[in-house]
Amino acid sequence: MIIVLKPRTAEEDLNRVVKMVEGKGLEAHVVRGEEMTIIGCIGDTVRIDPRLFEVDRSVDKVMHVQEPYKLANRAFHPEDSTVDVSGVKVGGGHMAMIAGPCSVETEEQVIEVARAVKAAGANLLRGGAFKPRTSPYSFQGLGLEGLDLLCKAKEETGLPIVTELMSAEYLEIFDEKVDLIQIGARNMQNFDLLKQLGQTKRPILLKRGLNATYEEWVMSAEYIMASGNENVILCERGVRTFETYTRNTLDLQAIPVLRRMTHLPVIIDPSHAGGKWWLVDSMAKAAVAAGADGLMIEVHNNPELALCDGGQSLKPTKYADLLKQLSKIAAAVGKEW
């Protein structure tokens, strides 16, 4: 249930309505926008008569929210959310340009790539320390050693780091060292892990599951938010369809759909979606034109010898050329980084 207050409602009137909400056994979630202030009522609102609040002089209207997600709902937060990742703003017209290798391989490799993508215009560095792989015989990442190498690259370049968390076992370490904690497609509905992420102070990048609907995806974000961490960024990385030519099928419709459903930032990962480096250019441009709040692109200094996903990685020079073109598209749709 949402309570919309009248314009220019005084603080004392707002507090009075909040106490009324809490008196009914509900949690009051106050959102102050430029044009309106709303109170999101979290809890069992089915038996609550909205007229109990409508009689208050400061209440404009009361609406029931039909969707099962509340905190992530656009109705609860009409304006776009902006997530701060160690000084890099994502959402609300600010774009996350995340780039780096699929896997951290050596200190020289990750630092060289980090320097190159920063020079090109990237504002966040990605790199896999722990790698979820379909085959148990594939390279699984360097683990904590890889995380330490990412931290060294951050020291060298100043770029905040993004890397994937696979187990709550390392959550405390990630909370200390990682600027943006990525949750991969395979863990999108690991609800126990999502609840624990709600207790962290770090922003979360939540990738869409291979077969997840929009609502299932947003409900996973709701798990994190309901547990106390509202700094969630959604990442579309392609879904599984009948097509086998590409790795996955990139769903660019997710951008306008999620803009209607939720206030959370939405970024696109064109590298994992297509699985082919030559698809990244066009899909990245299309994503920015469609209003994405950022891109996550894999960049490797020697993709032919990469230990993981070299075929979908751009070389640094190609990435730099792409960002020059993307800046023009971003400006045309009111975005910047």
Report the pLDDT value the prediction gives residue 236, as an integer from 0 to 100. Answer: 98
Q: Where in the chain is the domain with CATH 3.20.20.70?
A: 83-332
DSSP secondary structure letters along 205-250 = EEEPPTT--HHHHHHHHHHHHHTT---EEEEE--B--S--SSSSB-
pLDDT, tens digit (0-9, with 9 covering 90-100), for 130-151: 866 566 655 556 788 999 999 9
User: In angstroms, rounded to a whole number, what is the distance separating the alpha carbons of residues 147 and 177?
Assistant: 8
Q: Tokens 């800046």 — which residue? A: 327
pLDDT, tens digit (0-9, with 9 covering 90-100), for 237-250: 999 999 999 999 99
pLDDT, tens digit (0-9, with 9 covering 90-100), for 262-311: 999 999 999 999 999 999 999 999 999 999 999 999 999 999 988 888 89
Pick from 36, 18, 35: nearest CA to 27: 18
Report the pLDDT value the prediction gives residue 308, as an integer from 0 to 100. Answer: 83
Q: Where in the chain is the domain with CATH 3.30.70.1140?
A: 2-63
Q: For the chain, state the CA radius of gyration.
A: 21
CB 61 within 8 A of CB 51: no
pTM equals 0.90
Mean pLDDT of the chain: 93
pLDDT, tens digit (0-9, with 9 covering 90-100), for 159-207: 999 999 999 999 999 999 999 999 999 999 999 999 999 999 899 999 9
- Classify strands 27-32 and 37-42 as parallel, antiparallel or unpaired: antiparallel
> What is the CATH number assigned to the segment(s) 83-332?
3.20.20.70
> What is the CATH number assigned to the segment(s) 2-63?
3.30.70.1140
**Looking at 22-31, 89-98, 287-296, 317-326, which range is the least confident one?**
22-31
User: In angstroms, rounded to a whole number, what is the distance separating the alpha carbons of residues 144 and 262?
Assistant: 34
Q: How many CB atoms lie within 10 A of CB 140?
A: 17
Report the pLDDT value the prediction gives residue 139, as an integer from 0 to 100. Answer: 57
Report the pLDDT value the prediction gives residue 36, as an integer from 0 to 100. Answer: 81
Q: What one-character DSSP code corresponds to residue 315?
A: P
Relative orientation angle of helices 214-226 and 254-261, to the nearest 10 degrees:
50
Q: Is the pLDDT of residue 52 over 60?
A: yes
Q: What one-character DSSP code corresponds to residue 323?
A: H
